[in-house]
């Protein structure tokens, strides 16, 4: 069971770094997009499109970036599937975790 | 009573025009501000500041711009007080309405 996995200190360090890296990547995409949308505002409706985009993004981030060890392999699997992380970024994690991550990444 | 006032067709036309004009003015301020905020995004927190600003603005607009004849004199009074409208913009409304509007504008 994913929730029974034990994480060594070294694994936790690797996991935290990869997690933050993916989060920054995701945020950078959103920042770029909002700057673009703002530049192109022509009418009031464009304002509310930005608001919707931001609140959807915030919701998505909250759902996707869940740093509880009990769900982290699944989180990483999805991040790889979404192109926000590569398996190389997780080098050093135990094979018990990597197996689950790969399984979810290739679903 | 404000809700018992009768609005002639001519008054409705004047009111609608003034109302839309004030709304456009308000929206133009928000658009300018969002463009500015977006240009200056440096970190993720700046994104959520834009989201908050937009949702507050939307709420404020919904509260302030209420085009029901039963509350319109009050709405106009507040818009004048907020600098989004001048009494001249309402020229042609009956003195019954203007008296209420002035009363609220100078509260």
Alpha-carbon distance of B99 to B81, in angstroms, equals: 14
Q: Answer yes or no: is B5 within a domain.
A: no
Task: Answer yes or no: are the C-beta atoms of B77 and B101 closer than 8 Å.
Answer: yes
Q: How many CB atoms lie within 10 A of CB A72?
A: 25
Contact B50/A at CB under 8 A: yes
Q: Which of A36, A54, A59, A65 to mutate to test the interface with B (most CBs of B within 10 A)?
A: A54
In this complex, do A48 and B37 lie within 8 Å of one another by their Cβ atoms?
no
- B73 and B88 share a domain? yes
ipTM score here?
Answer: 0.83
pLDDT (tens digit, 9 = 90+) per residue, A37-56? 999 999 999 999 999 999 99
Task: Answer yes or no: are the C-beta atoms of B96 and B69 closer than 8 Å.
Answer: no
pTM of the model: 0.86
Q: Answer yes or no: is A2 within a domain.
A: no
- B51 and B78 share a domain? no
* Number of domains chain A contains: 1
Three-state DSSP class for residue B91: strand
Contact A27/B at CB under 8 A: yes
- B43 and B75 share a domain? no
Q: Answer yes or no: is B33 within a domain.
A: yes
Q: Which domain holds residue B58?
A: 27-64
Nearest CA in chain A to B55: A51
CA distance A49 to chain B (A): 10
Q: Answer yes or no: is B44 within a domain.
A: yes
Cα B81 from chain centre: 10
Averages of pLDDT over runs of 10 residues in chain B (107 residues) are: 88 98 96 97 95 96 95 96 96 96 94
* Residue of A91, A79, A70 lying closest to A24 (CA atoms): A79
Q: Answer yes or no: is B103 within a domain.
A: yes
- B75 and B56 share a domain? no
First to last CA, chain A: 18
Contact A35/B at CB under 8 A: yes
CA distance B70 to chain A (A): 26
Q: Answer yes or no: is B20 within a domain.
A: no
Structural tokens at position B2: 């404000």
Could you tell me what percent of chain A has a pLDDT over 90?
95
Q: What is the pLDDT of residue B43?
A: 93
Q: Answer yes or no: is A94 within a domain.
A: yes
Nearest CA in chain A to B39: A35
Sign of CA pseudo-dihedral A69, A74, A77, A82: negative
- B53 and B80 share a domain? no
Q: Answer yes or no: is B57 within a domain.
A: yes
């Amino acid at each position: 069971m994913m929730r029974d996995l034990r994480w060594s200190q070294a694994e936790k360090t690797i996991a935290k770094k990869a997690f933050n890296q993916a989060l920054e990547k995701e945020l950078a995409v959103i920042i770029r997009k909002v700057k673009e949308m703002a530049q192109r505002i022509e009418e009031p409706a464009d304002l509310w499109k930005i608001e919707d985009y931001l609140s959807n993004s915030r919701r998505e981030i909250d759902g996707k970036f869940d740093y509880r060890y009990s769900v982290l392999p699944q989180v990483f699997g999805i991040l790889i599937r979404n192109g926000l992380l590569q398996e190389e970024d997780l080098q050093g994690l135990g094979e018990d975790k990597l197996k689950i991550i790969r399984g979810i990444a290739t679903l």
